[in-house]
A and B are shown apart, each in its own frame.
Chain A
Amino acid sequence: MDLLNALVAILNFVVIPAASYGAQLALGALGVTLIYGILRFSNFAHGDTMAFGAAMVILITWGLQALGIGLGPLPTALLALPFGIALSAVFILGTDRAVYRFYRRKRSAPIILVMASVGVMFIMNGLTRLIIGVDEIRFDDGARFVFTVRDFRDWTGLSEGLSLRVSQLITLVVTALACWGLFRFLNRSRAGKAMRAYSDNEDLALLSGIDPERVVRLTWLIATALAVTAGTLYGLDKSFKVFNYFQILLPIFAASIVGGLGNPLGAVAGGFIVAFSEVAVTYPWKKIATYLGFEPQGLLQLLSTEYKFAVSFVILIVVLLFRPTGLLRGKSV
């Protein structure tokens, strides 16, 4: 019985939260890794693309709510998501036209593009704050739980409870669908293969008649769609606050580097590795140890949650020191 209780506790406090957080990181890291593979720079504005997109989704959600349109038990934000993606894509393609294309034509060094993206990041951050404000916003309407701790206890008779929030389930389902769609696109479609070819060998792709500007546009579109989806899911799960998206950039970069920059499969794996490490290191294991028959003195928490970003840093440094191309062989940084 205690073993079951320990398992349920691990599931409730570690596995489910880490899985949904990992899914959000994975979606973000996919965008970073695609842009790195095709445009060959690390996009610092990615976190704020998530914030900007989520802000658009929130505005549209409010509009839909005012019109009385909803999805019943599901959050209205899901309905607003495609519109949010479209608006953000227009903005991001605009930044490419106004900023990145200039440096691309000049064949500037990647570090120059990185610095340009830092500039875009500040502009987007300021713009998002102007549009929607700096306060914390909750926009998750509909049902809150798929099942609650109480439901679970009643069903099973265990003393330990397990809950699954709607936002967590949606995160996992949407991420699975997005990954499935993305990998199918990259592996099966002509345009997806052209993107991979361009990422592999730019000059040979040119010789083969692949239009680089088309590939670049497509990459921005996909990366933006993934970023806005990730940003919305993160906001639904944890509430929306512009500054949080700036902070989440670090674990997202860590995830894409751990998985191997430029390697989409690696980005997904990296997202979950970072999320599980972060949650496992900051979770107090006392309860579970007690179920397993130990009598721990302290909380068994390796690191307090304020320092969770240190986990990303440590993972990043270890990977860069010992396996700079990442776990699944991306490009070396």
Chain B
Amino acid sequence: MAEPYLSATAMRGGYGKADILNGCTLTVDKGQIAVIVGPNGAGKSTAMKAVFGMLALREGRVTLAGEDITGLTPQERVRKGMGFVPQTHNIFPTMTVEENLEMGAYIRQDDFTGTLEQVYDLFPAVADKRKQNAGELSGGQRQQVAVGRALMTRPSLLMLDEPTAGVSPIVMDELFDRIIEVARTGISILMVEQNARQALEIADIGYVLVQGANRYTDSGQALLADPEVRRTFLGG
């Protein structure tokens, strides 16, 4: 069997002495949407940060397209094709939408106007506000700018840390639609979500983490149908 595009296996590590991740494994195939759900404090965001290199691992390895990237810094991983959208502070508030996207493409030496147009096509709402400061936009539009910024490097894996935190249900649905569109272009998606039910509906693969370890792993639909998962994690 071919190795998955992203494979983070048996990750162990944390911020202090106590480990937050206890043998957590995450894999995503090309163009797949993978969703990490779980109760508060399960280590969802920490697992994502570990994949991105923001957390030093004690054990385990991360490979991208077959290449071992366990020792790389986040910046180096961006150059390898990872895009990361932090949960908060994910835009440059006093810069215009267009400048935010330009900064996203900072490492690119080639002409990125094509990518800029693609991002505007994907998010028409922010395209209308390209000369406006990103800090003046609504919560949902800010998230779109944040995702757009990460897309400017043309990543092959896009990681989203709770992209729908603090936005209205309508905006949330729209964001999920956009994320599906991004995945259709062949970009793999790994995201952490609080809105577990909605997120699992669009997930090709879902990971339920508990105490830093995998509790359930299955397709999104299967997890939604699992009475045990429903009862324990989805509130019935």
| Chain A residues engaging chain B, CB cutoff 8 angstroms | 190, 193-194, 196-197, 200-201, 203-210
Contact status A196-B94, CB under 8 Å: yes
> Are the C-beta atoms of B92 and A206 separated by less than 8 Å?
no
Q: Is B104 an interface residue (CB 8 A)?
A: yes
Residue B103 at the chain A interface, CB threshold 8 Å: yes
Residues on B with C-beta less than 8 A from A205 are: 92, 103
28 inter-chain pairs at a CB distance below 8 angstroms, sorted by A residue, are A193-B103, A196-B99, A197-B95, A197-B103, A197-B106, A200-B92, A200-B94, A200-B95, A201-B89, A201-B91, A201-B93, A203-B89, A204-B86, A204-B90, A204-B149, A205-B103, A206-B74, A207-B84, A207-B86, A208-B78, A208-B103, A208-B107, A208-B149, A209-B75, A209-B78, A209-B79, A209-B107, A210-B106
How far apart are the CA atoms of A288 and B74 in the complex, in Å?
Answer: 66
CB neighbours (8 Å) of B162 from chain A are none
Q: In the assembly, what is the distance between CA of A101 and CA of B93, in Å? A: 27
CB-CB under 8 A from A209, the residues of chain B are: 75, 78-79, 106-107
CA distance A193 to B103 in the complex (A): 8
- The interface residues of chain B lying within 8 Å CB-to-CB of A208 are 78, 103-104, 106-107, 149
Chain A residues, Cβ within 8 Å of B106: 190, 194, 197, 208-210
How many chain B residues sit at the interface, stated as a range, is 20 to 34
Taking A201-B89, A210-B103 as given, write out 5 further A-B residue pairs in contact, using a Cβ cutoff of 8 Å, ordered by the A residue number: A204-B90, A205-B92, A206-B75, A207-B74, A208-B107
Chain B residues with a Cβ under 8 A of chain A: 74-75, 78-79, 84, 86, 89-95, 99, 102-104, 106-107, 149
Instruction: Please report the C-alpha to C-alpha distance between residue A328 and residue B225 in the assembled complex, in whole angstroms.
Output: 54
CB neighbours (8 Å) of A190 from chain B are: 106
Cα–Cα, bound, A207→B74 (Å): 7
Contacts of B103 in A (CB 8 A): 193-194, 197, 204-205, 208, 210
- With A205-B103, A207-B84, A210-B106 known as contacts, the answer to whether A196 contacts B95 (CB < 8 A) is yes
Q: Quick one: closest B residue to A211, CB to CB?
A: B75
Chain A residues, CB < 8 A from B107? 208-209
Q: What CA separation (Å) do A210 and B94 show in the bound complex?
A: 17
User: With the chains together, A208 CA to B92 CA distance in Å?
Assistant: 11
Can you name the residue of chain A whose Cβ is closest to the Cβ of B105? A208
Can you name the residue of chain A whose Cβ is closest to the Cβ of B100? A197
Give Cα A197–Cα B94 distance, bound, in whole angstroms.
Answer: 8
Q: Which of A193, A196, A209 has the most CB of B within 10 A?
A: A209
Question: Once bound together, how far apart are the Cα atoms of A205 and B103, in whole Å?
Answer: 8
Chain B residues near A194 (CB, 8 Å)? 103, 106
Are B75 and A196 touching (Cβ within 8 A)?
no
B16 shortest CB reach to chain A, Å: 17
Would you call A204 and B94 a contact (CB within 8 A)?
no
B74, B78, B94: most-surrounded residue (chain A CB, <10 A): B94
